[in-house]
A and B are shown apart, each in its own frame.
Chain A
């Protein structure tokens, strides 16, 4: 299988009974504000990378919160870490740290 587009719909339904919450829990432990999202979409609308591509940080976060991780790493490569999302978030979510942590944890798992 070629690279999986993270934002594509790939399962018929979200399988809540078989969620893969390992990555999610680790991210929340490192950056608790990850849970505070109200999905207003401000981060995505303002995103510098989202201006060039289909990169959608809100959906990425939401899909991760629904336990899907396949293709996540590839998608997150687009982030420029500029911090605009963090600066507009009405819930003060530290999204920059969320992105850093997701990437770090994925890498840690790969190398472990």
Chain B
């Protein structure tokens, strides 16, 4: 479990394709909410499940849809457009 968590975190940082990086952060939230439940904090687990998995991931995906998907695309002339 902890290995999945750390692997997903490293993957999210390393991945150039931001969509996969965001999905990796979603996986982190899944594992984290299971951890919170096992550590006898069901309140926090519910919050983490609802906010971390659904809402944050969707907000990031909307942002990616409206900007650029790859990290490299974010260049100088992309900024000038706005």
Pairing of A with B = no
Q: Give the A-binding residues of B (Cβ under 8 A).
A: none
Q: Give the B-binding residues of A (Cβ under 8 A).
A: none
